[in-house]
Chain A
């Protein structure tokens, strides 16, 4: 491991900086405070998928004792924006206002009540009378694409991203390298298949929760469970017509986000109500609201058309994505863009065509969820590789080995696509993919005969390869401030957002490494727009790679300041001083502990050693994963038991082995649900049928199979201490690996996930009837 490179902090399982207070159940999350006079807000949601909100009579609700305020669209200025928490200018259509004039899905905001207690707020909701003008609703993707007589958004998007005003298109992409149609004609074999991906929900255990109040300086304070505090401040300033200086966003500990909190889901409402009432306002989603009115992974239908030669050489590859963004288009362009961009380069054929039609419908809203489009694309591509191999009569591992991306290869699609605008070409400067495949095969026992545990069961294995990015090249950036204290400890202030993944710890390790001090001497403050420098936030696997780069730079600057101060008293060159083992050591045996150095700097030299640095990368080096599944299928009932999942992951230098493993294991558990049982079900009118954990199943301790996690270390030349990213790539491969294993076991493919017992059973039944 990297510890062998003589690093004392990076590469070690240091204690996660916040672990103990979390394990003690301390009051550290958004909701663990109360403020005098705090109100609770509740949202009245539309029962109609598509209806104009003509009139809302709030008089009876307002008359109820304990109700402080009720708002609807007449009360709030309509300023078009996107709720997506992305860098400015956001590549998402400005199709949203705080309180809509028209309900666009069952669950859309109609009115919001703020009252002394939740019970009063709920009672008040029942007293609100709404006059709707019901409009025809479109809940089907294909219908939405065809029809222009019914529009989910009648207004044109001011940024011109979506087709608002003319069609229901929320995003369209058509990018080609080479000429796929022409190339397909020259191929020995062309395989076309259609894959269906479900609506799934992040299901972080802490719901969306925000508390807002106006402080004694008349500033708006928003304490919220978010991944994007700085984007949030910017968006709030714009839609509330305030300046950023009047707003402070505080991110306490966050109980999971997974992309679902890369979005302004409730913060605008508590802000408006706090400003109007002058009282603190709290709004927490119920689990039902999470499953109806938060965000989903986009449901997609993906058509893969692939041309190969007899020897397995891939000549042309086309991916056509049809996606449902629901009522609003936050992340519509970029998630769908990622579906191809992060996935297709795995097999860099000379001819690649990537097409997207992402439409608005009157269904609940899709958005960001860990993997950000790649799990869908990876499922389609990696299922398809098995299909191509089968048609070719070639071994599925061999087909992959023949075509996968290698060191030094460029990924042409990235240059064409970028983040909604021309991007930067991506060159692979580090890859452990081959090693991951070798070690993964070994761990799963690839090629060995595996007997089912009972005669009526069938056993199979499957694999999938995956790659992702490390931040968004040329877009994502972050900053860090390092400040030395009297006792040799440092404060590290970062805008980077720890949402449970452990980024505070990783960043503390980088800081400790550069300063030669133990990690516990680094006091991390993360994400308070008043106190920490800027960062785009926790998404796109950017924190370790991008924010880590900022921390390394800032810590080096402080080290240089100290070397300069010491150099002048020790009468040596700054470069001759070494910082290690909590000491500074100069030529001739001169040495001071870090505490002595700090005291000297502060009281003799009278300077505050302190620095802020920013970091951005023009690259987004891909982490790689090879993932394998071993399954047993009961053909009569369609039940699938996953016996083992192996993930071999190259995330560059492993900064913290246990945290990296934890990222992989958590991702595998989420992907297991994606493969086998998670699906938000809608009826034909767009109503969610299973808005609770009783019927929306996420993996429990009894569901997760034994997991083998292998970290294949590489040294990424553009990353801090050689690091890339680990948070997203392991969620991509398990679903296709499991479905490929089911197919290996019973000879029938699930083109649609989740592969529920009933779907597997039906597939087998239909195959035997044919």
Chain B
């Protein structure tokens, strides 16, 4: 079947299998930041934004993105918030093998953009769908808290690291 979606701000038409998951379709379109880790919605290496909300694209039907907006990391490379998140992740040493990094970045980006609370606990909740086997989450959270402090224009008043 043919679908028309808005991918990273551009209308695209794509021929898909009706049962295909969004992950396989996006990779087929060259969106390599979207990675396969489990295909059961658990690991988050395939996280993308669907109409601005983070989803695990392996458990989303590609067909349902017809007339909807899909955003991958590729589409956010010029975004100031995303750049800041990437810079902090790199600076804090939160990128080891990097396989989880695009998914973590998308989840954090969505959490920040939605205006959610930025405490250590809320950031951990935002990352529940992103498994990282390398870092133990310490440095990714440190990076996220640093961005949170910058965003709030000062030290984190809402609890910070527990």
Contact = CB atoms under 8 A, between A and B. Distances in A.
A31 B45 CA distance: 14
B98 A23 contact: yes
B131 A205 contact: yes
A32 B32 CA distance: 6
A692 interface: yes
Interface of B: 17, 32-40, 42-43, 45, 72-74, 77, 86, 89-102, 105, 123-125, 127-128, 130-141, 161-162
Determine the main DSSP class of B at the interface with A: loop
A665 B95 contact: no
Contacts of A20: 86, 90
Contact of B133 (A25, A204, A253, A659): A204
Contact of A668 (B40, B100, B136): B136
B131 A698 contact: yes
Nearest to B20: A119
Given A19-B98, A205-B131, A700-B131, A658 B92 contact: yes
Contacts of B17: 119
Contact of A700 (B77, B94, B95, B128): B128
Contact of A22 (B101, B123, B136): B101
B136 A669 contact: yes
B98 A692 contact: no
A75 interface: no
A18 interface: yes
B140 to A, nearest CB: 8
Contacts of B161: 706
A256 B162 contact: no
B37 A23 contact: no
B134 to A, nearest CB: 5
Given A287-B38, A287-B39, A701-B124, A500 B139 contact: no
Given A24-B33, A204-B99, A500-B99, 12 more contacts: A22-B95, A25-B72, A206-B35, A253-B98, A284-B36, A287-B43, A500-B96, A500-B98, A662-B134, A665-B136, A665-B137, A701-B137
A692 B136 contact: no
Greatest chain A CB density within 10 A among B38, B40, B134 is at B134
A702 B132 CA distance: 12
Interface in A1-57: 13, 15-16, 18-20, 22-27, 29, 31-32
A693 B93 contact: no
Nearest to A692: B40
Nearest to A254: B97
A699 B136 contact: yes
A551 interface: no
Greatest chain A CB density within 10 A among B95, B96, B162 is at B96
Contact of A18 (B45, B98, B132): B98
Contacts of B141: 701
B12 to A, nearest CB: 18
A207 B37 contact: yes
A253 to B, nearest CB: 7
Contacts of B39: 286-287
Interface in A695-715: 698-702, 704, 706-707, 709
B133 A666 contact: yes
Given A207-B36, A692-B40, A666 B99 contact: no
A661 B131 CA distance: 19
A500 B42 contact: no
Interface of A: 13, 15-16, 18-20, 22-27, 29, 31-32, 119, 202-207, 253-256, 258, 284, 286-287, 499-502, 658-659, 661-662, 665-670, 692-694, 698-702, 704, 706-707, 709
A287 B56 CA distance: 15
Contacts of B102: 23, 25
Contacts of B137: 665, 669, 699-701, 704
Contacts of A207: 36-37
B40 A658 contact: no
B4 to A, nearest CB: 23
Nearest to B34: A25
A709 B98 CA distance: 22
A542 B96 CA distance: 18
A203 B95 CA distance: 17
A206 B134 contact: no
Contacts of A670: 133, 136
A23 B133 contact: no
A693 B43 contact: yes
Given A26-B32, A692-B40, A666 B74 contact: no
Contacts of B74: 25
Given A23-B95, A255-B98, A693-B42, A707 B133 contact: no
A527 to B, nearest CB: 14
29 contacts: A13-B93, A16-B95, A18-B98, A23-B89, A23-B98, A23-B102, A23-B105, A24-B33, A24-B77, A27-B32, A203-B133, A206-B35, A255-B35, A255-B98, A258-B133, A287-B38, A499-B97, A500-B99, A501-B96, A501-B134, A658-B92, A661-B138, A662-B136, A662-B139, A670-B133, A692-B40, A693-B42, A694-B42, A701-B130
A66 B87 CA distance: 45
Contact of B42 (A24, A658, A692): A692
A692 B38 contact: yes
Greatest chain B CB density within 10 A among A15, A16, A19, A698 is at A19
A205 B43 contact: yes
A621 to B, nearest CB: 24
| 9 A-B pairs closest in CB distance | A500-B97, A25-B33, A22-B98, A255-B99, A658-B93, A669-B136, A665-B136, A693-B42, A27-B32
A702 B36 contact: no
A188 to B, nearest CB: 42
Contacts of A692: 38, 40, 42
A709 B94 CA distance: 15
A225 B58 CA distance: 22
Contacts of B45: 205-206
B101 A25 contact: yes
Contacts of B93: 13, 16, 658-659, 661-662
A605 to B, nearest CB: 39
A256 B97 contact: yes
Contacts of B97: 22, 204-206, 253-256, 499-501
A23 B42 contact: no
